[in-house]
Amino acid sequence: MKKKMDLIIGSLFAVATIIFIVLFLTNDMFFNWAFARHHNLLSWYIRPLFIIPMVIFAFKKSLTGIFASIFALFTSMFWFPVPATNSPQVLEFLAFEMDYLKGTWTAPKILISLAVPLFFFMLIMAAWKRNWKWLLGVIIGAAVLKFIWSIVFSGEAGMSILKPALIGLIVCIGGLAYFFKKYKRTEKR
């Protein structure tokens, strides 16, 4: 894809992501509809997997791929149907997340929330510059910080994300290791 077209399409996905986030945070009806579907644990397991294409597209320097992956990551929270049942721990954690997102936005909360775009920036830059150690550190660090944040702010309910976070971390590292190993073999030929 030509650079100009890549920039245009990538920008459209970036704008679509911003529109989604604003709509999600400002429209109670949409927020509740999306969050009801986010109770489906499949959305918890699929979200970290979008790190793999995001990194691969950053490696290939494709803005369209990067921002399409970010858009998919955010919107995947409502791709699945509302579950019939959930564990009390999951319900408690999601109630905390809903209160967190809909509660008063204080300076510390805004500062903590800036970790999300900072994570994306660091992840993309590490892959763009092909700094494998930095990339691995960002991925592991983000998983650890998400888990710590969940426990510190929601208590025992935060343990509900441990399994999806660990599986997502393992799959991300394994998938990217496979991609880079395959890339190096192709590059040597």
Q: Is a pLDDT exceeding 90 seen at residue 40?
A: no
Taking alpha carbons only, the member of 126, 154, 151, 155 closest to residue 139 is: 126
Q: Is a pLDDT exceeding 80 seen at residue 10?
A: yes
The predicted-structure confidence for 78-100, as pLDDT tens digits, reads as follows: 999 988 887 888 888 888 888 88
Mean pLDDT computed over 124-143: 91
CB 92 within 8 A of CB 70: no
At 127, the amino acid letter reads A
CA distance 177 to 52: 10
Q: What CA–CA distances, in Å, run from 41 to 35, 44, 46, 103?
A: 12, 5, 9, 24
At which residue do the structure tokens 């994300």 appear?
A: 161
pTM across the whole model: 0.84
CA distance 2 to 161: 40
Q: Is a pLDDT exceeding 90 seen at residue 182?
A: no
At 74, the amino acid letter reads F
CB 129 within 8 A of CB 114: no
User: What does 17-78 look like in DSSP terms, one character per residue?
Assistant: HHHHHHHHHH-HHHHHHHHHHHTSHHHHHHGGGGHHHHHHHHHTT-HHHHHHHHHHHHHGGG
Taking alpha carbons only, the member of 160, 49, 27, 43 closest to residue 101 is: 27
CA distance 107 to 65: 33
- Report percent pLDDT > 70 for the chain: 99
